[in-house]
Amino acid sequence: MPVSPLSLQPKDAIAFFRSKGMRTGFDYRDVWQQEHAQGFTVAKAMQVDILTDIRRALDDAMTQGKTLEQFKKELSPILQAKGWWGRQEVTDPLTGETKLAQLGSSRRLRTIYEVNLQSAYAHGNWQRIEASKRAFPYLMYVCVLDSRTRPQHRAWHGVCRPVDDPFWDTHYPPCGWKCRCGTRSLTRAQVKREGIDPTAPAPRFPMDEVTNPRTGEVSRVEQGIDPAFNFNIGKSPLRPITAQPMATSMPAVPKKQLAPAVESFLKSFGAEAKGRILQRDNWPLAIGRELFQDDQGELKTPRPDLLGYLLDVANALLRYDSVEWLWGENAAKKAVLIRRYTKRLDKSLVTIDFSDGAWTYDVRALSDG
């Protein structure tokens, strides 16, 4: 969906843009995926004054409705005067390697302008979607059907899901560089009148395992989604640091049974909406819906057989008796560190393990003796 500053509601776009902190990064992958929702960054803008100049120019473009050409005309001489322009030799702080890299240019300023305005639009639009979901509970994926459309995006065109469906955790546009897709909000009456089936399965494509060479972070991304866009910019900023449910071979719990249990768990922490950070023994612990979502955003629990004990697990995390670090093995038989929380209840012992970006729990009955 093409974005112009005139299409943005300033209160939505500007509030989001100004809420970001500033993050310097040599490579665009130094600040990755959901981190962009929290930090403003421009690759190779390692000086704070350069980053500040670019940020100020973007802020002006949003508040004053400036076009791309106005943005470039005003910012280019500022960056040129400070020497941040053209191809220059720069040193990568991560590797110490000196490289010939592109700093400022007309093409780069276009990318900076479009990506930042598009992300501001997407974030602001999602807030409006959330605010109006009682009246418009459904969302439809809509793409531009022309020769430039990615085949996967074309396949998702017309997919309709409830606003709260996990599909939108990874498929809320934009789903890649220069992605022009958008969404359409629908009422229940519209869905019925147009004969739309919001339960029909969405087309799925193979998952690729992607390693960020800058951080070593490994993520699984569905083909058709660029790795840097594998998240919903309007949702919780805690997802990058929230553990996922540890994989299990046990049969999955039906969503209609799991969903209310998850809601009760989150309410114990006051984390129903956007999650929260708990400080546990000087260690931050992210609590949010992502604790119960797999790589594809599907609702899961690490222990389907112990679903009835989720409130005990919440109690254990809030009021644990002990916490310790242990060595263990992951599914690949590699040594990993486990952070274990333990809570003794009246008739049971609850343990919760966090390890290697995943979590699980166990509940054991205590003998009367």
pLDDT tens-digit map of 47-65: 667 778 888 888 888 888 8
Under the banding of pLDDT at 50, 70 and 90, the label for residue 8 is: very low
Under the banding of pLDDT at 50, 70 and 90, the label for residue 1 is: very low
Q: Report the alpha-carbon distance of residue 284 to residue 240 in Å, rounded.
A: 13
Tokens of 166: 């996990």
Q: DSSP secondary structure string, 171-231?
A: HSSP-STT---EEEEE-HHHHHHTT--TTSPPP--PEEEEE-TTT--EEEEETTS-GGG-S
Render pLDDT for 67-119 as a digit per residue (tens, 0 to 9).
999 999 998 998 888 888 888 777 766 667 777 877 778 888 888 888 888 88
Render pLDDT for 333-365 as a digit per residue (tens, 0 to 9).
777 788 899 999 988 999 999 987 889 999 999
Contacts of 146 (CB under 8 A, 6+ apart): none
Render pLDDT for 234-284 as a digit per residue (tens, 0 to 9).
875 666 668 889 988 899 899 889 999 999 999 998 865 566 777 766 677
Q: Looking at residue 52, what is its pLDDT? A: 82
Q: Report the alpha-carbon distance of residue 350 to residue 343 in Å, rounded.
A: 5
Contact 302, 245 (CB under 8 A): yes
Under the banding of pLDDT at 50, 70 and 90, the label for residue 194 is: very high
Tokens of 39: 């930090």
Under the banding of pLDDT at 50, 70 and 90, the label for residue 32 is: very low
The domain spans of the chain are 1-130, 132-234, 239-365
Q: Looking at residue 59, what is its pLDDT? A: 83
Provide the sign of the torsion angle of the four alpha carbons 177, 180, 181, 187, taken in this order. positive
pLDDT at 161 over 80: yes
**What separation in angstroms does the CA of 173 have from each of 11, 169, 278, 356?**
21, 10, 30, 29
**DSSP 8-state symbol, 357:** T
Contacts of 19 (CB under 8 A, 6+ apart): none
Considering only residues 121 and 74, tell me which one the structure prediction assigns the higher pLDDT: 74
pTM: 0.58
Residue 70: CA count within 13 A, CB half-sphere: 12
